Structure 1
Amino acid sequence: MGYNFLVEIGGLIAGGFSEVSGLESEIEVQEYREGGVNGFVHQFPTQVTYPNLVLTQGLTNVDLLWNWYSATAQGIVTLLNGSVLLLDRQRLPVMWWNFRDAYPVKWIGPQFNASNTTEVAVTQLELVHRGITKPLASQLLGAVGGAGIIPGL
């Protein structure tokens, strides 16, 4: 159920989000062509990279994320850890991914269109971070399909 999730930032549930993208990790490789070996190219791992997380949510009157972005834009950078939690039908966590040392680098406000009365106004917040992990407790819980373990363990 990819639609049933929460985002926690700095110990607080950061509201209901309609989409989270950028939950990715990639190992970059260095190619090495060995002389006299023409059948393949050696590839050695170098560094792990992470794209920015993009959080999309319906417009709300809670300004916690906007205030964090605004402070960062004024040079007051606060690094926060967070989690993306996948929930079961009872809204209990079944697995999660943690991100660390995040701060906002882009905010996109709602698009207003008077001719479209069915569309929900949404905002986006883009976060830079220093890595994604999937804690052992999340891996074990996901493997057994249980729920009720506290994120961050």
Structure 2
Amino acid sequence: MATYYPPVGFHFLVEFTGIDSKEEDHKFQSVSGLSVDIETEEIAEGGENRFKHKFPVKTKYPNLVLKRGMLVSSKVIDWCRNAIENFEFKPVDLTVKLLNEEQQPLLTWNVVHAYPVKWAVEDFNAEESKLVVESVELCYNYFKTIGNGD
């Protein structure tokens, strides 16, 4: 009998440091882009023709994409609009917390120096009955993972 069950991916919270916001501003439908790639450099060795040596060079992080049902009043969107409309960028740190059934964090990702690079609203369509979904795309320097269940 299994004693360990992997956590569910639908119970999470996003918190922005430095943006005073309502509780609704922490709830998102999806978060994507929490991944990292290590770029490598190939170096050929003289006399060795079967392969090239690959060495790690640096890490590369994709943009973080947050989606949710549109909020009419949102401090996070005000922060995004200020960057996009006024070209005033104020990077902030944020955390993505994977929660358990008691609302306690299992894992936390600290995302460092994030700022908005895209804001979008899904298409309006009179033939469909669905919520208006907005997405925010953030560029960031790096993230660190913290295990809260340890």
- Shorter-normalised TM-score: what interval? 0.7 to 0.9
- 1:104-123 to 2 correspondence within 5 Å? 104-117=116-129, 119-123=130-134
Hey, what does 1:132 align to over in structure 2?
Answer: 143
Q: How many residues align?
A: 138
SS at match of 2:26: coil
Q: 1:87·1:94 contact (CA, 8 Å) conserved in 2? A: yes
Q: String of CA shifts for 1:98-136, please: whole Å, max 9, x gaps.
A: 11111111000132111111x22100000011101113x
SS at match of 1:111: coil
Q: Report sequence identity in percent.
A: 36
1:128 and 1:30 mapped to 2: Cα distance? 24
1:91 and 1:62 mapped to 2: Cα distance? 25
2:123 and 2:35 mapped to 1: Cα distance? 27
1:23 corresponds to which letter in structure 2? L
Hey, what does 1:26 align to over in structure 2?
Answer: 37
Q: What TM-score comes out, normalization by structure 2 length?
A: 0.85
CA RMSD in angstroms comes to 1.6
**Does residue 17 in structure 1 map to residue 17 in structure 2?**
no
**Does residue 85 in structure 1 map to residue 97 in structure 2?**
yes
1:104 and 1:122 mapped to 2: Cα distance? 17
Q: 1:59·1:110 contact (CA, 8 Å) conserved in 2? A: no
1:107 corresponds to which letter in structure 2? W
After superposing on structure 2, the runs of 4+ consecutive aligned residues of structure 1 that deviate more than 6 Å are none
Q: What TM-score comes out, normalization by structure 1 length?
A: 0.83
- 1:49-88 to 2 correspondence within 5 Å? 49-73=60-84, 74-88=86-100
